[in-house]
């Protein structure tokens, strides 16, 4: 029997390509060339499934380029790069990679929070520039993390993993989410207290964003929300670009209306607003919150397992639009 054909849109661990080759005829992209939407639409033709990352926008047009496409398997928990409604309409399965990255991403949220509040990168750049001539009582004074109030906006699996870690820092946790957590989950998340969004913004000493992106939450943290935050507060975004209005954040940070921000994600990344580079009160990282070796491997394996299941007649474990399974 002829093997099904799949496209892997970006470079990935070679053994994952090898794994896929046991089942499929694979068109890989190990040179990691960024494909334009037109190239993507062309390459999707004749394929049964695609292995994607959030760098590719899988639009209705890309999906429509191939009426026989059966599955789009994203190597990420987020899937705002894929037009799910169009995929569902066309009977195409869409999958993501939940859970395997929760703990690693939560670790990184803490790395950013501590680096930002305690000015780790700013002071390191200063030291490297040869500016450390003497000790002073007020060199790089930062904010305390221990004993402070941690706010979490978006209390899903990653938000909860972030909150749990605050126990060791004796913090009070407040959170806002579309729906309130079950009491047992709140208890596990360091007795997190559910509050309204405005109270969260006003009361948090450190606010971490951990919500998925959707058009409904575009710029949910904009000028108005930033103005509600304490001027001494730290903002950390490990979620998605577009949740924060980056231009408004730059204005607030420059004016000292917000103490500092730790950002792993940006609007229009990797082409982020260059004004961030002129600010000393930011810690900027290139979307690496899930980038530990074991976790990126687990994500790639998870996406591959979904693709293999989808094209060999099993239900993919992480299907996002299960309604297509019953469509016959």
Q: Which range binds ligand 8YV by CB under 6 A, 75-83, 147-155, 170-178, 244-252?
A: 75-83
> Which class for 127: exposed (0-12), middle (13-18), buried (19 or more C-beta within 10 A)?
exposed
**Contacts for 66-69 with beta carbons within 8 Å, 24 or more apart?**
69/44
Tell which one of 20, 65, 76, 283 touches ligand 8YV (CB under 6 A): 76
Catalytic site includes residue 269? yes
**Distance between CA atoms of 210 and 134, rounded to whole angstroms?**
40
Using rule CB under 6 A, residue 75 touches ligand 8YV:
yes
Using rule CB under 6 A, residue 8 touches ligand 8YV:
no
Tell which one of 77, 171, 210, 283 touches ligand 8YV (CB under 6 A): 77
Looking at the Cβ atoms of 168 and 270, the one nearer to ligand 8YV is 270
Binders of ligand 8YV in range 187-216 (CB under 6 A): none
DSSP string, 171-233: -EEEEE-SSPPPHHHHHHTTSPEE--HHHHHHH-SEEEE-PPP-GGGTTSBSHHHHHHS-TT-
Tell which one of 12, 40, 69, 101 touches ligand 8YV (CB under 6 A): 101
Tell which one of 78, 91, 142, 222 touches ligand 8YV (CB under 6 A): 78
β-strands 71-74, 93-95: how paired? parallel
Strands of the sheet containing 49-52, edge to edge, are 24-27, 4-8, 49-52, 71-74, 93-95
Tell which one of 4, 48, 50, 54 touches ligand 8YV (CB under 6 A): 54
Looking at the Cβ atoms of 148 and 213, the one nearer to ligand 8YV is 213
Return the active site residues. Answer: 240, 269, 287
Give contact residues for ligand 8YV (rule: CB under 6 A): 53-54, 75-78, 101, 287, 290
């Amino acid at each position: 029997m002829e093997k099904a054909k799949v496209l892997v849109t970006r470079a990935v661990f070679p053994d994952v390509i090898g794994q896929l080759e046991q089942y499929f005829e694979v068109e890989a992209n190990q040179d990691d060339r960024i494909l334009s939407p037109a190239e993507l639409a062309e390459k999707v033709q004749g394929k049964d499934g695609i292995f994607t990352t959030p760098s590719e926008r899988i639009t209705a047009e890309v999906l429509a380029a191939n009426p026989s496409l059966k599955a789009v398997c994203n190597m990420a928990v987020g899937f705002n790069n894929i037009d799910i409604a169009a995929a569902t309409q066309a009977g195409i399965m869409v999958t993501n990679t939940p859970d395997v990255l929760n703990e690693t991403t939560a670790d990184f949220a803490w790395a950013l929070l501590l680096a930002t509040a305690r000015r780790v990168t700013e002071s390191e750049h200063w030291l490297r520039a040869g500016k450390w001539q003497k000790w002073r009582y007020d060199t790089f004074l930062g904010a305390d993390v221990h004993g402070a109030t941690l706010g979490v906006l978006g209390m899903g699996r990653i938000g909860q993993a972030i909150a749990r870690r605050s126990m060791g820092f004796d913090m009070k946790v407040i959170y806002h989410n579309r729906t309130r957590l079950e009491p047992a989950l709140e208890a596990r998340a360091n007795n997190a207290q559910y509050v309204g969004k405005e109270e969260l913004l006003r009361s948090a000493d450190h606010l971490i964003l951990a919500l998925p992106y959707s058009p409904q939450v575009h710029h949910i943290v904009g000028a108005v929300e930033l103005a509600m935050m304490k001027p001494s507060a730290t903002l950390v975004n490990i979620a998605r670009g577009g949740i924060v209005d980056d231009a408004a954040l730059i204005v607030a940070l420059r004016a000292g209306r917000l103490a500092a921000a730790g950002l792993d994600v940006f609007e229009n990344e990797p082409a982020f607003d260059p004004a961030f580079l002129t600010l000393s009160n930011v810690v900027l990282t290139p979307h690496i919150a899930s980038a530990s070796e074991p976790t990126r491997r687990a994500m790639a394996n998870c996406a591959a397992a979904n693709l293999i299941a989808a094209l060999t007649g099993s239900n993919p474990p992480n299907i996002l639009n299960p309604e297509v399974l019953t469509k016959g």
